[in-house]
Amino acid sequence: MSEIVVQKIKERFPDSFLDSYSFRDENTVIIKKEDLVAVCRYLKSDPELSFDFLSDLCGVDYMGRETRFEVVYHLFSISKRHRIRLKAMVGEGEKISSVTGIWSTSDWHEREAFDMYGIIFEGHPNLTRILMPENWDGHPLRKDYPLKGR
């Protein structure tokens, strides 16, 4: 089922589609971050896909890569019961559009990704730290943030 999703994204957004792969029946699509909102809107509104539920949103730090961070979106469709993983790469200091306008639940998730990785979500209503104190230095889940001895 989710192969169709990948196909549809590829057909609809040939320019922003970067890569896709599948592992243990889980499909991952990597898209350009510039078109993120458009792709997400399409995924939610297309009646055949109808990804109405954002399961999870998180950041991953690939230190040493050209574009350092990845934002990973786990989408689920409650009516169609399929899942897809959407990824967008974002470099250090770069901005990525917020998807709070599409799924309200991403509000806290994006704040957490900002808190933990320093990824800046453009258009987020209140991008402040959520788990760490307001005056905390650094972003704890970055790979160059030491485990102890700070």
Q: Specify whether the CB–CB gap between 70 and 90 falls below 8 A.
A: yes
Q: Is 3 helix (H, G, I), strand (E, B) or coil?
A: helix
Using the rule CB under 8 A, is 52 a contact of other proteins? yes
* Least separation in angstroms between CB 26 and other proteins: 6
Using the rule CB under 8 A, is 116 a contact of other proteins? yes
Share in percent of the chain as helix, strand, coil (round to 5): 25, 30, 45
Stretch that binds other proteins, among 7-15, 35-43, 72-80, 90-98 (CB under 8 A): 72-80
Nearest to 30 by CA among 66, 72, 93: 72
Binding interface with other proteins (CB under 8 A): 23-24, 26, 28, 52-56, 58, 60-61, 72, 74, 78, 81, 83, 85, 103-105, 107-109, 116, 129-133, 140-141, 145, 147
